A and B are shown apart, each in its own frame.
Chain A
Amino acid sequence: MTGLVAVLSFTAVLALVLILADLIAKGASSLDWSFFTKNPVAAGATGGGVANAIVGTGIIVGLAALIGLPVGIGTGLYLAEYGSGRLGWIVRFVADVLNGTPSIVIGIFAWTWLVKPMGHFSALAGSVALAALMIPMIARTTEEMVRLVPHSLREAALALGYARWRTSLRIVARTALAGIVTGCLVGIARIAGETAPLIFTALGNLNFTVSVGQPMQTLSLQIYQYASGPFDEWHRLAWAAALVLMGLVLLLAVGARWAIRQRHGAAR
Protein backbone atom coordinates (compact mmCIF):
# COMPACT_ATOMS: atom_id res chain seq x y z
CA MET A 1 0.00 0.00 0.00
CA THR A 2 2.71 2.45 1.04
CA GLY A 3 4.60 1.47 -2.10
CA LEU A 4 1.60 2.19 -4.30
CA VAL A 5 1.03 5.58 -2.72
CA ALA A 6 4.72 6.35 -3.16
CA VAL A 7 4.57 5.44 -6.86
CA LEU A 8 1.44 7.56 -7.37
CA SER A 9 2.85 10.61 -5.65
CA PHE A 10 6.10 10.15 -7.52
CA THR A 11 4.06 10.23 -10.75
CA ALA A 12 2.50 13.52 -9.73
CA VAL A 13 5.86 15.05 -8.90
CA LEU A 14 7.37 13.57 -12.07
CA ALA A 15 4.82 15.41 -14.22
CA LEU A 16 5.85 18.74 -12.73
CA VAL A 17 9.54 17.93 -13.03
CA LEU A 18 9.19 16.87 -16.66
CA ILE A 19 7.23 19.98 -17.59
CA LEU A 20 9.73 22.23 -15.86
CA ALA A 21 12.71 20.42 -17.36
CA ASP A 22 11.22 20.62 -20.85
CA LEU A 23 10.41 24.30 -20.42
CA ILE A 24 13.91 25.07 -19.21
CA ALA A 25 15.53 23.00 -21.95
CA LYS A 26 13.55 24.70 -24.71
CA GLY A 27 12.94 28.13 -23.25
CA ALA A 28 15.88 29.09 -21.06
CA SER A 29 18.24 29.78 -23.98
CA SER A 30 15.87 32.47 -25.28
CA LEU A 31 15.73 34.33 -22.01
CA ASP A 32 17.96 37.29 -22.68
CA TRP A 33 17.73 40.99 -22.06
CA SER A 34 15.88 41.74 -25.29
CA PHE A 35 13.28 39.04 -24.57
CA PHE A 36 12.17 41.00 -21.50
CA THR A 37 12.62 44.52 -22.92
CA LYS A 38 11.68 44.36 -26.60
CA ASN A 39 8.30 44.12 -28.26
CA PRO A 40 7.44 41.58 -30.95
CA VAL A 41 8.91 42.17 -34.38
CA ALA A 42 7.17 41.56 -37.71
CA ALA A 43 6.02 38.01 -38.39
CA GLY A 44 8.80 35.87 -39.77
CA ALA A 45 11.60 38.19 -38.66
CA THR A 46 13.98 37.05 -35.93
CA GLY A 47 14.54 38.72 -32.56
CA GLY A 48 12.11 40.75 -30.56
CA GLY A 49 10.66 40.01 -27.11
CA VAL A 50 7.50 39.92 -25.12
CA ALA A 51 7.78 43.07 -23.04
CA ASN A 52 4.24 43.98 -24.08
CA ALA A 53 2.90 40.63 -22.86
CA ILE A 54 4.72 40.78 -19.54
CA VAL A 55 3.46 44.29 -18.83
CA GLY A 56 0.00 43.30 -20.11
CA THR A 57 -0.17 40.29 -17.82
CA GLY A 58 0.75 42.52 -14.91
CA ILE A 59 -1.91 45.10 -15.77
CA ILE A 60 -4.74 42.69 -16.56
CA VAL A 61 -4.09 40.38 -13.61
CA GLY A 62 -3.48 43.35 -11.29
CA LEU A 63 -6.73 45.00 -12.33
CA ALA A 64 -8.58 41.68 -11.96
CA ALA A 65 -7.15 41.32 -8.45
CA LEU A 66 -8.14 44.90 -7.65
CA ILE A 67 -11.74 44.07 -8.55
CA GLY A 68 -11.81 40.45 -7.42
CA LEU A 69 -10.01 40.48 -4.07
CA PRO A 70 -12.21 42.98 -2.19
CA VAL A 71 -15.42 41.47 -3.55
CA GLY A 72 -14.24 37.90 -2.94
CA ILE A 73 -12.92 38.53 0.57
CA GLY A 74 -16.01 40.54 1.51
CA THR A 75 -18.28 37.79 0.24
CA GLY A 76 -16.31 35.15 2.14
CA LEU A 77 -16.48 37.16 5.35
CA TYR A 78 -20.20 37.62 4.90
CA LEU A 79 -20.73 33.90 4.28
CA ALA A 80 -18.73 32.86 7.32
CA GLU A 81 -20.10 35.43 9.75
CA TYR A 82 -23.67 36.06 8.64
CA GLY A 83 -24.31 33.45 5.98
CA SER A 84 -26.33 30.93 7.97
CA GLY A 85 -29.65 32.09 6.54
CA ARG A 86 -31.33 31.72 3.18
CA LEU A 87 -29.39 34.49 1.45
CA GLY A 88 -26.16 32.87 2.58
CA TRP A 89 -27.27 29.59 1.09
CA ILE A 90 -28.06 31.24 -2.23
CA VAL A 91 -24.74 33.12 -2.36
CA ARG A 92 -22.83 29.94 -1.51
CA PHE A 93 -24.70 28.00 -4.19
CA VAL A 94 -24.06 30.65 -6.84
CA ALA A 95 -20.38 30.76 -5.88
CA ASP A 96 -20.08 26.99 -6.21
CA VAL A 97 -21.76 26.97 -9.62
CA LEU A 98 -19.60 29.87 -10.78
CA ASN A 99 -16.55 28.02 -9.48
CA GLY A 100 -17.37 25.09 -11.72
CA THR A 101 -18.18 27.19 -14.79
CA PRO A 102 -15.69 26.64 -17.64
CA SER A 103 -13.57 29.75 -18.01
CA ILE A 104 -14.39 30.06 -21.70
CA VAL A 105 -18.05 30.48 -20.80
CA ILE A 106 -17.11 33.34 -18.50
CA GLY A 107 -15.20 34.81 -21.43
CA ILE A 108 -18.27 34.64 -23.68
CA PHE A 109 -20.36 36.39 -21.04
CA ALA A 110 -17.75 39.11 -20.65
CA TRP A 111 -17.79 39.55 -24.43
CA THR A 112 -21.60 39.83 -24.47
CA TRP A 113 -21.82 42.30 -21.61
CA LEU A 114 -18.69 44.38 -22.06
CA VAL A 115 -16.97 43.97 -25.41
CA LYS A 116 -20.11 44.12 -27.55
CA PRO A 117 -21.70 47.20 -25.90
CA MET A 118 -18.33 49.00 -25.86
CA GLY A 119 -17.78 48.14 -29.48
CA HIS A 120 -14.18 46.92 -29.11
CA PHE A 121 -11.98 44.45 -27.24
CA SER A 122 -10.27 45.77 -24.14
CA ALA A 123 -7.95 44.82 -21.30
CA LEU A 124 -10.63 46.01 -18.90
CA ALA A 125 -13.08 43.41 -20.20
CA GLY A 126 -10.37 40.78 -19.74
CA SER A 127 -9.80 41.86 -16.16
CA VAL A 128 -13.52 41.69 -15.42
CA ALA A 129 -13.68 38.16 -16.84
CA LEU A 130 -10.71 37.07 -14.75
CA ALA A 131 -12.18 38.75 -11.66
CA ALA A 132 -15.41 36.80 -12.20
CA LEU A 133 -13.34 33.61 -12.22
CA MET A 134 -11.51 34.65 -9.11
CA ILE A 135 -14.33 35.93 -6.89
CA PRO A 136 -16.03 32.59 -6.11
CA MET A 137 -12.65 30.96 -5.47
CA ILE A 138 -11.52 33.68 -3.07
CA ALA A 139 -14.94 33.84 -1.41
CA ARG A 140 -15.01 30.15 -0.60
CA THR A 141 -11.42 29.92 0.67
CA THR A 142 -11.92 33.07 2.76
CA GLU A 143 -15.07 31.54 4.23
CA GLU A 144 -13.21 28.33 5.12
CA MET A 145 -10.37 30.24 6.73
CA VAL A 146 -12.66 32.49 8.76
CA ARG A 147 -14.65 29.48 9.95
CA LEU A 148 -11.44 28.00 11.37
CA VAL A 149 -11.20 30.87 13.86
CA PRO A 150 -12.41 29.49 17.22
CA HIS A 151 -15.78 30.70 18.39
CA SER A 152 -14.29 31.49 21.79
CA LEU A 153 -12.26 34.33 20.24
CA ARG A 154 -15.41 35.93 18.87
CA GLU A 155 -17.06 35.66 22.26
CA ALA A 156 -14.05 37.13 24.01
CA ALA A 157 -14.16 40.16 21.72
CA LEU A 158 -17.92 40.60 22.07
CA ALA A 159 -17.67 40.33 25.86
CA LEU A 160 -15.05 43.07 25.75
CA GLY A 161 -17.54 45.45 24.18
CA TYR A 162 -16.64 44.97 20.51
CA ALA A 163 -19.56 45.47 18.16
CA ARG A 164 -20.22 42.56 15.87
CA TRP A 165 -18.78 44.14 12.72
CA ARG A 166 -15.68 45.20 14.62
CA THR A 167 -15.25 41.69 15.96
CA SER A 168 -15.46 40.34 12.40
CA LEU A 169 -12.88 42.74 11.03
CA ARG A 170 -10.49 43.38 13.90
CA ILE A 171 -10.36 39.97 15.52
CA VAL A 172 -11.73 37.25 13.26
CA ALA A 173 -10.47 38.43 9.88
CA ARG A 174 -7.11 39.37 11.33
CA THR A 175 -6.70 35.97 12.94
CA ALA A 176 -7.53 34.32 9.62
CA LEU A 177 -5.40 36.77 7.63
CA ALA A 178 -2.54 34.45 6.72
CA GLY A 179 -5.02 31.90 5.38
CA ILE A 180 -6.90 34.54 3.44
CA VAL A 181 -3.69 35.88 1.91
CA THR A 182 -2.73 32.34 0.90
CA GLY A 183 -6.09 31.88 -0.77
CA CYS A 184 -5.65 35.16 -2.64
CA LEU A 185 -2.19 34.23 -3.90
CA VAL A 186 -3.42 30.86 -5.10
CA GLY A 187 -6.35 32.61 -6.79
CA ILE A 188 -4.06 35.09 -8.54
CA ALA A 189 -1.74 32.29 -9.66
CA ARG A 190 -4.73 30.47 -11.05
CA ILE A 191 -5.99 33.37 -13.19
CA ALA A 192 -2.52 34.48 -14.28
CA GLY A 193 -2.34 31.50 -16.61
CA GLU A 194 -5.90 31.73 -17.96
CA THR A 195 -6.19 32.06 -21.72
CA ALA A 196 -9.72 31.17 -22.76
CA PRO A 197 -11.59 34.08 -21.14
CA LEU A 198 -9.06 36.52 -22.58
CA ILE A 199 -9.50 35.42 -26.21
CA PHE A 200 -12.90 37.09 -26.31
CA THR A 201 -12.00 40.08 -24.20
CA ALA A 202 -8.40 41.30 -24.09
CA LEU A 203 -7.84 39.71 -27.51
CA GLY A 204 -4.09 40.22 -27.61
CA ASN A 205 -1.97 42.95 -29.14
CA LEU A 206 1.38 42.81 -30.88
CA ASN A 207 2.17 46.35 -29.79
CA PHE A 208 3.03 47.70 -26.42
CA THR A 209 0.16 49.42 -24.62
CA VAL A 210 -0.76 50.34 -21.10
CA SER A 211 -4.21 51.64 -21.99
CA VAL A 212 -6.82 49.39 -20.37
CA GLY A 213 -9.45 50.54 -22.87
CA GLN A 214 -7.49 48.90 -25.70
CA PRO A 215 -6.79 45.29 -26.62
CA MET A 216 -3.78 44.08 -24.65
CA GLN A 217 -1.35 41.20 -24.84
CA THR A 218 -0.76 38.73 -22.02
CA LEU A 219 1.80 35.93 -21.71
CA SER A 220 -0.91 33.27 -21.99
CA LEU A 221 -2.34 34.83 -25.18
CA GLN A 222 1.13 35.24 -26.62
CA ILE A 223 1.92 31.58 -25.98
CA TYR A 224 -1.36 30.59 -27.61
CA GLN A 225 -0.70 32.69 -30.71
CA TYR A 226 2.99 31.91 -31.09
CA ALA A 227 2.71 28.20 -30.38
CA SER A 228 -0.01 27.75 -32.99
CA GLY A 229 1.81 29.92 -35.56
CA PRO A 230 4.00 28.65 -38.40
CA PHE A 231 7.39 30.20 -37.54
CA ASP A 232 10.21 28.53 -35.61
CA GLU A 233 11.09 31.91 -34.18
CA TRP A 234 7.58 32.13 -32.71
CA HIS A 235 7.86 28.63 -31.23
CA ARG A 236 11.12 29.60 -29.60
CA LEU A 237 9.54 32.68 -28.03
CA ALA A 238 6.45 30.68 -26.98
CA TRP A 239 8.67 28.27 -25.02
CA ALA A 240 10.42 31.12 -23.32
CA ALA A 241 7.14 32.87 -22.51
CA ALA A 242 5.78 29.62 -21.07
CA LEU A 243 8.84 29.35 -18.85
CA VAL A 244 8.36 32.91 -17.61
CA LEU A 245 4.66 32.32 -16.91
CA MET A 246 5.42 29.08 -15.11
CA GLY A 247 8.06 30.84 -13.03
CA LEU A 248 5.55 33.52 -12.12
CA VAL A 249 2.99 30.96 -10.96
CA LEU A 250 5.67 29.08 -9.01
CA LEU A 251 6.67 32.31 -7.34
CA LEU A 252 3.10 32.93 -6.22
CA ALA A 253 2.82 29.35 -4.96
CA VAL A 254 6.00 29.76 -2.95
CA GLY A 255 4.59 33.02 -1.58
CA ALA A 256 1.45 31.16 -0.54
CA ARG A 257 3.51 28.50 1.27
CA TRP A 258 5.40 31.23 3.02
CA ALA A 259 2.15 32.89 4.15
CA ILE A 260 0.93 29.56 5.53
CA ARG A 261 4.14 29.17 7.47
CA GLN A 262 3.67 32.62 8.95
CA ARG A 263 0.25 31.56 10.19
CA HIS A 264 1.51 28.38 11.76
CA GLY A 265 4.34 30.30 13.32
CA ALA A 266 1.81 32.70 14.86
CA ALA A 267 -0.36 29.86 16.13
CA ARG A 268 2.42 28.51 18.27
Chain B
Amino acid sequence: MAPPADAVLQLETVRLTALYGPRAVVKDVSLMFPKHSVSAVIGPSGCGKSTFLRCLNRMHELSEGGWVTGRVLLDGADIYDERVDPVQLRRRIGMVFQRPTPFPTMSIYDNVAAGLRVNGSRGRGELDEAVERALRQAALWDEVQDRLRHSALALSGGQQQRLCIARALAPQPEVLLLDEPTASLDPSGTQRIEDLCHELKLAYTIVIVTHNLQQAARVSDYTAFFFLGELVEVARTEDLFTKPAREQTEAYITGRFG
Protein backbone atom coordinates (compact mmCIF):
# COMPACT_ATOMS: atom_id res chain seq x y z
CA MET B 1 0.00 0.00 0.00
CA ALA B 2 1.03 3.53 -0.43
CA PRO B 3 0.75 5.97 2.40
CA PRO B 4 2.48 9.20 1.47
CA ALA B 5 6.22 9.08 2.05
CA ASP B 6 6.09 11.76 4.73
CA ALA B 7 3.40 10.03 6.82
CA VAL B 8 4.43 8.91 10.28
CA LEU B 9 3.49 5.33 11.00
CA GLN B 10 1.64 4.70 14.24
CA LEU B 11 0.72 1.08 13.85
CA GLU B 12 1.91 -1.61 11.54
CA THR B 13 1.25 -5.32 11.17
CA VAL B 14 3.97 -7.51 9.74
CA ARG B 15 2.89 -10.87 8.34
CA LEU B 16 0.20 -11.12 10.99
CA THR B 17 -1.63 -14.44 11.13
CA ALA B 18 -4.44 -15.02 13.65
CA LEU B 19 -5.53 -18.52 14.53
CA TYR B 20 -8.12 -20.40 16.52
CA GLY B 21 -6.28 -23.57 17.46
CA PRO B 22 -4.97 -24.88 14.13
CA ARG B 23 -7.32 -22.79 11.96
CA ALA B 24 -6.04 -19.50 10.56
CA VAL B 25 -8.74 -16.85 10.18
CA VAL B 26 -6.41 -13.98 9.31
CA LYS B 27 -3.58 -14.92 7.00
CA ASP B 28 -0.26 -13.20 6.61
CA VAL B 29 -1.54 -9.63 6.68
CA SER B 30 0.91 -6.75 6.47
CA LEU B 31 -0.69 -3.32 6.83
CA MET B 32 0.43 0.14 7.81
CA PHE B 33 -1.63 2.71 9.67
CA PRO B 34 -0.32 6.27 9.40
CA LYS B 35 -0.65 8.53 12.41
CA HIS B 36 -3.83 10.62 12.61
CA SER B 37 -5.57 8.85 9.78
CA VAL B 38 -8.73 6.80 9.57
CA SER B 39 -8.28 3.37 8.05
CA ALA B 40 -11.26 1.23 7.17
CA VAL B 41 -11.22 -2.54 7.00
CA ILE B 42 -13.98 -3.90 4.78
CA GLY B 43 -15.01 -7.31 3.55
CA PRO B 44 -17.89 -9.79 3.67
CA SER B 45 -18.97 -11.39 6.96
CA GLY B 46 -16.49 -13.98 8.19
CA CYS B 47 -13.56 -12.52 6.27
CA GLY B 48 -11.55 -12.10 9.47
CA LYS B 49 -11.77 -8.32 9.70
CA SER B 50 -13.00 -8.25 13.29
CA THR B 51 -10.44 -10.85 14.34
CA PHE B 52 -7.76 -8.75 12.67
CA LEU B 53 -8.88 -5.73 14.69
CA ARG B 54 -8.81 -7.75 17.90
CA CYS B 55 -5.18 -8.66 17.24
CA LEU B 56 -4.26 -4.98 17.37
CA ASN B 57 -4.95 -4.69 21.11
CA ARG B 58 -4.29 -8.34 21.98
CA MET B 59 -7.94 -9.14 22.59
CA HIS B 60 -7.82 -12.06 20.17
CA GLU B 61 -5.67 -14.12 22.52
CA LEU B 62 -8.42 -13.94 25.16
CA SER B 63 -10.76 -15.93 22.92
CA GLU B 64 -10.70 -19.67 23.43
CA GLY B 65 -7.83 -21.11 21.39
CA GLY B 66 -6.81 -17.71 20.04
CA TRP B 67 -3.17 -17.05 19.15
CA VAL B 68 -1.16 -15.16 16.56
CA THR B 69 2.07 -15.27 14.61
CA GLY B 70 3.81 -12.31 13.06
CA ARG B 71 4.26 -8.89 14.58
CA VAL B 72 2.22 -5.81 15.40
CA LEU B 73 4.30 -2.68 15.83
CA LEU B 74 2.97 0.22 17.87
CA ASP B 75 5.33 3.18 17.48
CA GLY B 76 7.89 0.71 16.17
CA ALA B 77 7.78 -1.68 19.13
CA ASP B 78 6.25 -5.14 18.88
CA ILE B 79 3.18 -5.40 21.11
CA TYR B 80 3.56 -9.19 21.17
CA ASP B 81 7.00 -8.92 22.72
CA GLU B 82 7.09 -10.97 25.91
CA ARG B 83 8.00 -7.92 27.98
CA VAL B 84 4.75 -6.19 27.01
CA ASP B 85 1.94 -6.49 29.53
CA PRO B 86 -1.28 -6.85 27.50
CA VAL B 87 -3.29 -5.15 30.26
CA GLN B 88 -1.05 -2.09 30.12
CA LEU B 89 -1.07 -2.19 26.33
CA ARG B 90 -4.85 -2.03 26.15
CA ARG B 91 -4.75 1.28 27.99
CA ARG B 92 -2.85 2.70 25.01
CA ILE B 93 -5.25 1.30 22.42
CA GLY B 94 -8.93 2.04 22.95
CA MET B 95 -11.67 -0.14 21.53
CA VAL B 96 -15.37 0.29 20.83
CA PHE B 97 -17.59 -2.67 20.02
CA GLN B 98 -20.55 -3.40 17.76
CA ARG B 99 -23.13 -3.04 20.48
CA PRO B 100 -22.93 -0.32 23.11
CA THR B 101 -21.54 -1.78 26.33
CA PRO B 102 -21.99 0.78 29.10
CA PHE B 103 -21.32 -0.70 32.54
CA PRO B 104 -24.86 -1.05 33.90
CA THR B 105 -24.00 -0.50 37.56
CA MET B 106 -22.20 2.75 36.90
CA SER B 107 -23.34 6.30 36.31
CA ILE B 108 -22.48 8.17 33.12
CA TYR B 109 -19.62 9.85 34.96
CA ASP B 110 -18.26 6.61 36.41
CA ASN B 111 -18.41 4.89 33.03
CA VAL B 112 -16.18 7.52 31.49
CA ALA B 113 -13.91 7.57 34.54
CA ALA B 114 -13.60 3.77 34.65
CA GLY B 115 -10.56 3.59 32.41
CA LEU B 116 -8.89 6.42 34.32
CA ARG B 117 -9.46 4.95 37.75
CA VAL B 118 -7.98 1.66 36.66
CA ASN B 119 -4.79 3.56 35.85
CA GLY B 120 -4.39 4.56 39.47
CA SER B 121 -6.20 7.08 41.60
CA ARG B 122 -6.29 10.71 40.60
CA GLY B 123 -7.44 13.89 42.21
CA ARG B 124 -11.09 14.79 41.99
CA GLY B 125 -10.48 17.88 39.87
CA GLU B 126 -8.26 16.05 37.42
CA LEU B 127 -10.85 13.31 37.02
CA ASP B 128 -13.66 15.84 36.44
CA GLU B 129 -11.59 17.52 33.77
CA ALA B 130 -10.72 14.30 31.99
CA VAL B 131 -14.34 13.13 32.01
CA GLU B 132 -15.57 16.42 30.57
CA ARG B 133 -12.86 16.42 27.90
CA ALA B 134 -13.69 12.86 26.83
CA LEU B 135 -17.42 13.55 26.73
CA ARG B 136 -16.84 16.68 24.66
CA GLN B 137 -14.62 14.76 22.25
CA ALA B 138 -17.37 12.18 21.87
CA ALA B 139 -19.91 14.98 21.25
CA LEU B 140 -21.99 13.88 24.20
CA TRP B 141 -21.24 16.56 26.78
CA ASP B 142 -24.09 18.89 25.93
CA GLU B 143 -26.63 16.10 26.19
CA VAL B 144 -25.48 14.66 29.52
CA GLN B 145 -23.72 17.41 31.45
CA ASP B 146 -26.64 17.95 33.80
CA ARG B 147 -27.19 14.26 34.52
CA LEU B 148 -23.71 12.84 34.92
CA ARG B 149 -24.77 10.95 38.04
CA HIS B 150 -27.63 9.16 36.30
CA SER B 151 -27.43 5.58 35.14
CA ALA B 152 -25.79 5.13 31.76
CA LEU B 153 -28.64 2.82 30.78
CA ALA B 154 -31.05 5.75 30.60
CA LEU B 155 -29.31 6.95 27.43
CA SER B 156 -30.44 6.07 23.91
CA GLY B 157 -28.51 3.50 21.88
CA GLY B 158 -26.65 6.14 19.94
CA GLN B 159 -25.80 8.06 23.09
CA GLN B 160 -24.63 4.86 24.76
CA GLN B 161 -22.29 4.21 21.87
CA ARG B 162 -20.88 7.71 22.08
CA LEU B 163 -20.51 7.15 25.83
CA CYS B 164 -18.45 4.05 25.03
CA ILE B 165 -16.32 6.15 22.70
CA ALA B 166 -15.86 8.70 25.47
CA ARG B 167 -14.93 5.89 27.85
CA ALA B 168 -12.34 4.62 25.38
CA LEU B 169 -10.97 8.14 24.82
CA ALA B 170 -10.73 9.18 28.47
CA PRO B 171 -7.39 7.42 29.14
CA GLN B 172 -6.06 9.22 26.04
CA PRO B 173 -5.02 6.22 23.99
CA GLU B 174 -2.90 6.59 20.87
CA VAL B 175 -5.07 4.37 18.70
CA LEU B 176 -8.83 3.91 18.61
CA LEU B 177 -10.24 0.65 17.26
CA LEU B 178 -13.88 0.71 16.16
CA ASP B 179 -15.50 -2.66 15.50
CA GLU B 180 -18.61 -1.94 13.40
CA PRO B 181 -19.53 0.83 15.83
CA THR B 182 -22.74 1.78 14.05
CA ALA B 183 -24.09 -1.71 13.39
CA SER B 184 -26.83 -1.34 15.97
CA LEU B 185 -27.60 2.36 15.48
CA ASP B 186 -30.21 4.25 13.52
CA PRO B 187 -29.17 6.59 10.66
CA SER B 188 -28.87 9.71 12.80
CA GLY B 189 -26.83 7.88 15.42
CA THR B 190 -24.66 6.52 12.63
CA GLN B 191 -24.07 9.95 11.18
CA ARG B 192 -22.97 11.37 14.52
CA ILE B 193 -20.39 8.62 14.92
CA GLU B 194 -19.14 9.16 11.38
CA ASP B 195 -18.82 12.90 11.97
CA LEU B 196 -16.88 12.07 15.10
CA CYS B 197 -14.35 10.02 13.12
CA HIS B 198 -13.41 13.11 11.16
CA GLU B 199 -12.84 15.14 14.30
CA LEU B 200 -11.11 12.44 16.30
CA LYS B 201 -8.49 11.67 13.70
CA LEU B 202 -6.90 15.03 14.45
CA ALA B 203 -5.81 13.54 17.76
CA TYR B 204 -5.97 9.78 17.32
CA THR B 205 -5.17 7.08 14.82
CA ILE B 206 -8.38 5.27 14.00
CA VAL B 207 -8.99 1.81 12.58
CA ILE B 208 -12.63 1.08 11.79
CA VAL B 209 -14.08 -2.25 10.76
CA THR B 210 -17.30 -1.96 8.81
CA HIS B 211 -19.36 -3.91 6.34
CA ASN B 212 -21.00 -0.73 5.20
CA LEU B 213 -19.10 0.35 2.09
CA GLN B 214 -20.57 3.84 2.00
CA GLN B 215 -19.42 4.30 5.56
CA ALA B 216 -15.88 3.28 4.65
CA ALA B 217 -15.95 5.68 1.71
CA ARG B 218 -17.26 8.52 3.88
CA VAL B 219 -15.00 8.29 6.89
CA SER B 220 -11.69 6.74 5.91
CA ASP B 221 -8.44 7.89 4.34
CA TYR B 222 -7.30 4.35 3.58
CA THR B 223 -9.31 1.23 2.95
CA ALA B 224 -8.22 -2.39 3.18
CA PHE B 225 -10.32 -5.11 1.60
CA PHE B 226 -10.25 -8.54 3.28
CA PHE B 227 -11.55 -11.74 1.78
CA LEU B 228 -11.35 -15.22 3.34
CA GLY B 229 -8.82 -14.04 5.89
CA GLU B 230 -6.48 -12.54 3.36
CA LEU B 231 -5.71 -8.94 2.57
CA VAL B 232 -6.74 -8.54 -1.05
CA GLU B 233 -6.02 -4.90 -1.57
CA VAL B 234 -5.26 -1.72 0.30
CA ALA B 235 -5.17 1.80 -1.07
CA ARG B 236 -6.22 5.37 -0.49
CA THR B 237 -9.96 5.18 -0.07
CA GLU B 238 -10.87 7.21 -3.16
CA ASP B 239 -8.55 5.07 -5.26
CA LEU B 240 -9.88 1.80 -3.94
CA PHE B 241 -13.46 2.77 -4.63
CA THR B 242 -12.87 4.39 -8.05
CA LYS B 243 -10.12 2.30 -9.57
CA PRO B 244 -9.61 -0.92 -7.67
CA ALA B 245 -6.53 -2.83 -8.79
CA ARG B 246 -7.91 -6.30 -8.16
CA GLU B 247 -10.89 -7.88 -9.77
CA GLN B 248 -12.14 -9.32 -6.45
CA THR B 249 -12.19 -5.85 -4.95
CA GLU B 250 -14.15 -4.48 -7.85
CA ALA B 251 -16.63 -7.33 -7.66
CA TYR B 252 -17.17 -6.65 -3.95
CA ILE B 253 -17.52 -2.88 -4.10
CA THR B 254 -19.87 -3.05 -7.07
CA GLY B 255 -22.02 -5.46 -5.12
CA ARG B 256 -21.49 -8.55 -7.23
CA PHE B 257 -20.83 -10.64 -4.11
CA GLY B 258 -20.58 -10.42 -0.34
Binding site for B on A (CB under 8 A): 150, 152-153, 155-163, 166, 171, 174-175, 177, 266-268
* B118 on interface, CB distance cutoff 8 Å: yes
**Could you list some 27 contacts between A and B, CB below 8 A?**
A150-B101, A152-B97, A152-B99, A153-B103, A153-B104, A155-B59, A155-B62, A155-B101, A156-B164, A158-B90, A159-B95, A159-B168, A160-B90, A160-B115, A160-B167, A160-B168, A161-B88, A161-B118, A162-B87, A166-B118, A171-B103, A171-B105, A174-B105, A175-B104, A177-B105, A266-B153, A268-B153
Considering the complex, give the chain B residue whose CB is closest to the CB of A166: B118
Instruction: Please state if B105 and A175 are interface contacts (CB–CB under 8 Å).
Output: yes
Contacts of B168 in A (CB 8 A): 159-160
Contacts of B91 in A (CB 8 A): 160-161
Considering the complex, give the chain A residue whose CB is closest to the CB of B177: A159
Instruction: Please state if A161 and B105 are interface contacts (CB–CB under 8 Å).
Output: no
Question: Do A267 and B90 contact each other (CB < 8 Å), given the known contacts A161-B115, A161-B119?
Answer: no
Kindly state the separation between the CA atoms of A268 and B154 in the bound complex, as whole angstroms: 7
Choose among B114, B119, B168 the residue with the greatest number of A CB atoms under 10 Å from its CB: B114
Contact flags B126-164 to A (C-beta < 8 A → 1, else 0): 000000000000000000000000010100000000001
* B48 on interface, CB distance cutoff 8 Å: no
Q: What 8 A-B pairs come out closest when comparing CB atoms?
A: A161-B91, A156-B101, A159-B95, A160-B115, A161-B90, A174-B105, A152-B101, A163-B87
Kindly state the separation between the CA atoms of A268 and B171 in the bound complex, as whole angstroms: 28
Question: Do A158 and B153 contact each other (CB < 8 Å), given the known contacts A152-B99, A153-B101?
Answer: no
Kindly state the separation between the CA atoms of A174 and B115 in the bound complex, as whole angstroms: 16
* B94 on interface, CB distance cutoff 8 Å: yes
Choose among A156, A158, A159, A174 the residue with the greatest number of B CB atoms under 10 Å from its CB: A159
- Specify which of A161, A175, A177, A267 is in contact with B171 (CB 8 Å cutoff): A161
Instruction: Please state if A267 and B103 are interface contacts (CB–CB under 8 Å).
Output: no
Contacts of A156 in B (CB 8 A): 97, 101, 103, 164
Kindly state the separation between the CA atoms of A174 and B111 in the bound complex, as whole angstroms: 13
Kindly state the separation between the CA atoms of A152 and B100 in the bound complex, as whole angstroms: 9
**Number of chain B interface residues as a range:** 20 to 34
Contacts of B171 in A (CB 8 A): 160-161
Contacts of B182 in A (CB 8 A): none
* B57 on interface, CB distance cutoff 8 Å: yes
Considering the complex, give the chain B residue whose CB is closest to the CB of A162: B118
A80 to chain B, nearest CB (A): 15
Contacts of A152 in B (CB 8 A): 97, 99, 101
Contacts of B103 in A (CB 8 A): 153, 156-157, 171, 175
Question: Do A159 and B105 contact each other (CB < 8 Å), given the known contacts A166-B118, A266-B153, A268-B153?
Answer: no
A177 to chain B, nearest CB (A): 7
Considering the complex, give the chain A residue whose CB is closest to the CB of B167: A160
Considering the complex, give the chain A residue whose CB is closest to the CB of B104: A175
Instruction: Please state if A159 and B153 are interface contacts (CB–CB under 8 Å).
Output: no
Kindly state the separation between the CA atoms of A155 and B103 in the bound complex, as whole angstroms: 11
Instruction: Please state if B59 and A158 are interface contacts (CB–CB under 8 Å).
Output: yes
Contacts of A177 in B (CB 8 A): 105
Contacts of A158 in B (CB 8 A): 59, 62, 90
Choose among A152, A153, A156, A177 the residue with the greatest number of B CB atoms under 10 Å from its CB: A156
B183 to chain A, nearest CB (A): 12
Kindly state the separation between the CA atoms of A150 and B99 in the bound complex, as whole angstroms: 11
Considering the complex, give the chain A residue whose CB is closest to the CB of B91: A161
Considering the complex, give the chain A residue whose CB is closest to the CB of B59: A159
Contact flags B96-129 to A (C-beta < 8 A → 1, else 0): 0101010111000000001100110000000000
B96 to chain A, nearest CB (A): 8
A158 to chain B, nearest CB (A): 6
Contacts of A150 in B (CB 8 A): 101
B230 to chain A, nearest CB (A): 26
Considering the complex, give the chain A residue whose CB is closest to the CB of B164: A156
Contacts of B101 in A (CB 8 A): 150, 152-153, 155-156
Kindly state the separation between the CA atoms of A162 and B114 in the bound complex, as whole angstroms: 9
Contacts of B164 in A (CB 8 A): 156
